[in-house]
Amino acid sequence: MSSPTSTKLTPPIYVDPRIRRRFIWLYLIQIWISLIPAAFLLFWILYPWFIQILPSILNFPEISWTLPNLLKKWWQYPTWVAVIFLPILLGLVYVITVIWSACVTKILHILLNKLHPPKEGVFYRHPKDKDYLFWNLRNLTRIFLFWLNYSSPFIFFKKKFTFSFFGVRIGKNSEINHTWISPEFIEIGNNVIIGQSAAIYSYLIQGDKILVAKTIIEDNVQIGPQVILLPGTHVKERTIIDGGSFSHPFTIMEENSVYSGCPTERKMSISELQKKIFQQ
């Protein structure tokens, strides 16, 4: 199956509108600081164009606006040089913007965690509850970086600068590219395969309360498409979860087992599954 392009499979984060409106100034300042290197580099790249073309524009002479003619003016290099290197420079602008934005977001998270360390538990969904307030603020500061990373063709950025850089453990050779994963209180082991449009949550909203708890997926686990794991779920080693399954909070799935259903139930062991497959 496929998922809408508009969703971009960004991590499932929630920001209370009351808190978002109150701290929108922080979010806008963060974006402004995150775009400073990009603005500097773009000015440096495009300045030779402007310095040569702008006087001609002000004098209103006849001027050809074809792309080759514009590219020829770029540092007086031949057209083919500009055509080859301009995409590379624009890609460099994007990469630097992602890295710098990740650093800005990390600094904000360090400051927020110093003011109020993140923790698991059940909290009231009210701005006066400090745990809920700072949980929302951490999510708010992630939005711009997530937008950058999930507009990217570089899968490495999604794993490194969305999760690992902020302390989420994702093991080696784990495939998470087409998955919704909460950006904190998640632990994923090695050689884990998660199907498209699966959702791994570390929070659950119920009425006027919110539950925040770590979700753990151990090594060599296979999770089918459209599986939903709610906070506190612990999937042990070499477990298979059938597509479309759903786990209640704090579900424990035993190792070497096959689970399916809504809610998930143990259906058979891995050895039984293998025997069933080979008999056919």
What would the DSSP string read from start to end of 11-45? ------HHHHHHTHHHHHHHHHHHTHHHHHHHHHH
Claim to verify: residue 46 and residue 127 sit in the same structural domain: yes
Same-domain check for residues 100 and 192: no
Write down the pLDDT at residue 1.
Answer: 40
Rounded (5°) CA angle 15-241-167: 40
Question: Do 152 and 265 lie in a common domain?
Answer: no
Among 126, 144, 167, give the residue marking a domain's end: 167
Between the alpha carbon of residue 220 and those of residues 6, 23, 172, 223, the distances in Å are 31, 41, 10, 10
Whether residues 151 and 260 share a domain: the answer is no
Asked whether residue 142 falls in the same domain as residue 262, the answer is no
Residue 8 has what pLDDT?
A: 52
For 52: left if phi > 0, alpha if psi spans -120 to 50, otherwise beta; the answer is alpha
**Residue 280's pLDDT band (cuts 50, 70, 90):** low
Q: Which of 146, 167, 188 is the last residue of a domain?
A: 167
Same domain for 161 and 66, yes or no, is: yes
Domain match, 161 and 238 both: no
- Residue 54 shares a structural domain with residue 134: yes
Angle, nearest 10°, between helix axes 36-59 and 79-115?
Answer: 140
* Total of domains in the chain: 2
Domain that holds residue 181: 169-280
What confidence tier does 202 reach under pLDDT thresholds 50, 70, 90?
very high
pLDDT in tens, 90-133: 888 888 999 999 999 999 999 999 999 999 999 999 999 999 99
Average pLDDT for 269-273: 78
* Domain stop point among 167, 188, 210: 167
